[in-house]
Chain A
Amino acid sequence: GEDVEQSLFLSVREGDSSVINCTYTDSSSTYLYWYKQEPGAGLQLLTYIFSNMDMKQDQRLTVLLNKKDKHLSLRIADTQTGDSAIYFCAETDTDKLIFGTGTRLQVFP
């Protein structure tokens, strides 16, 4: 079955870069996603990458995809305190969206 794994916690200093990693199992996913969850709220789409791409950059966000290793990463440049949240990667099965365990990013001054 599908399985999407992430490390649970990441702590970084304000201004540094953050890298959140994800491994997935379903190689047929058309898109892979990163969602952000702020405290007490639902998830919101942060960015996504099409499965035939290796990299996507969107302002401070860089998504890297290694299809051979089924590894996805999200890099946040110049991390700010407002970036503190839980980040979920997600893959799509044919008819459903499967989320990872989530990585709690804590940014300290």
Chain B
Amino acid sequence: NAGVTQTPKFQVLKTGQSMTLQCAQDMNHNSMYWYRQDPGMGLRLIYYSASEGTTDKGEVPNGYNVSRLNKREFSLRLESAAPSQTSVYFCASTQVMNTEAFFGQGTRLTVV
């Protein structure tokens, strides 16, 4: 039982490059989330998907796009990476809102 799987685990990008972070969960959860974690700032919500077919902006959506490809997968895309997007990114899922969140292991992204 893998839970929430994120790929890649590490990535270095040059400013202006694009990339997609992948996330998949095998728990049949309805809701999925993308957070970024920065020192002293905790976890900030980038985008979330309350259910398959819906996505909504979180606290810090600028510079990102998401796709809820199906119930299992929720990807995060950086179209033109900037150094300010250097961070650790976490994907999470919940069965429904207000239930336990399960997290992936994180993607450490560096933009140079």
A residues with CB within 8 A of B: 1, 4, 6, 8, 30-31, 35, 40-45, 48, 88, 90, 92, 94-102
Contact of B98 among A31, A44, A99, A100 (CB under 8 A): A31
Write the chain A residue with the least CB distance to B45.
A96
Report the bound CA distance from A96 to B97 in whole Å. 7
Contact of B35 among A1, A99, A101 (CB under 8 A): A99
Q: Is the CB of B56 within 8 A of A95?
A: yes
Report the bound CA distance from A1 to B44 in whole Å. 13
Residue total for B at the interface (Cβ-Cβ under 8 A):
25
Q: Is the CB of B43 within 8 A of A41?
A: no
- Known interface pairs A42-B4, A42-B90, A94-B97. Does A99 touch B105 (Cβ–Cβ under 8 Å)? no
Q: Is the CB of A44 within 8 A of B41?
A: no
List 27 contacting pairs A-B, 8 Å CB cutoff, sorted by A: A1-B59, A4-B42, A30-B98, A35-B101, A41-B105, A42-B4, A42-B90, A42-B104, A42-B105, A42-B106, A43-B43, A43-B90, A44-B103, A45-B100, A48-B100, A88-B43, A90-B101, A92-B97, A94-B97, A95-B50, A96-B45, A96-B56, A96-B58, A96-B97, A99-B44, A100-B42, A102-B43
